[in-house]
A = this chain, B = another copy of it.
Amino acid sequence: MFEASATQDPAIAIDAIERLGAREAFAKDAEIYGQAEPVEHVYRVIRGAVRTTRLLSDGRRQVGEFYFPGDVFGLETGPDHRYSAEALSDCEVLSVKRSALRGDVAEEALRGMIWDATVRELDRTQEHVLMLGRKTACERVASFLLDIVGRTNGLGNLPMSRQDMADYLGLTIETVSRMLSQLQADSVVEFDALRHFRIRNQQAITRLAA
């Protein structure tokens, strides 16, 4: 259960979800599932990007995570979703009914994939806790940019708005904007468009990410 999935060919799991999964398309900002809805499916991003969000009663919003092609989401654990999931851009996802996973020994590979995804999710969530608990605004933004680059093959594309970034980083939109401006002024990164940047000083951004 633990080490097995690390050593097996990931293509087997991909094959399993592709055989069982239904392809679905969502328009930008469409809800994929809602907070407090029952957990019925597991999803995998094919194209585009997805965010999960959670609302406090007075409207404060926290973004749980961003998901890119290949990422699995919807792994939440209770009977009901605690986060809702929305399309960041027009996107396509594969979805598999959780009930399809029960008792079928042939889908062991798919289970392994879900275990791996859960483990990765926990890992990333723990990193998120460290960031929100102990990093400064500048460090959070730097960490975020570095993380995005690492997850998207070095392309500095930001499919999310500044508000989404702020709600992920536990900051306001103005603070995010100021930090981005500052990083650019310090020649750490360079934006050639609102949502596209490149790293100009790898060493500096790595140090700033703390």
* Number of this chain's copies in the complex: 2
Q: In the complex, what distance in Å separates the CA atom of A119 from the CA atom of B125?
A: 12
From A15-23, A126-134, A153-161, A194-202, the one touching the partner chain is: A126-134
The proximity string for A residues 11-29 relative to B, scoring 1 for CB distances below 8 Å and 0 otherwise, is 0000000000000000000
Separation of A60 and B133 alpha carbons in the complex (Å):
10
B130 close to A56 (CB less than 8 A): yes
- Taking the nearest CB of chain B, how far is it from the CB of A62, in angstroms? 5
0/1 interface trace, chain A 115-147, chain B, CB 8 Å (1 if under):
100111111011111101111000000000000
Q: Among the interface residues A57, A77, A168, which one has the most CB atoms of the partner chain B within 10 A?
A: A77
Cβ B75 vs Cβ A122 within 8 A: yes
Binding site for B on A (CB under 8 A): 1-4, 54, 56-58, 60-62, 64, 75-78, 82-83, 98, 101-102, 111, 114-115, 118-123, 125-130, 132-135, 167-170, 210
17 more CB-based (< 8 A) A-B contacts, given A2-B98, A125-B125: A1-B102, A3-B102, A4-B102, A56-B130, A56-B134, A56-B210, A57-B210, A75-B122, A76-B122, A77-B122, A77-B123, A82-B123, A83-B126, A118-B122, A125-B126, A132-B133, A133-B168
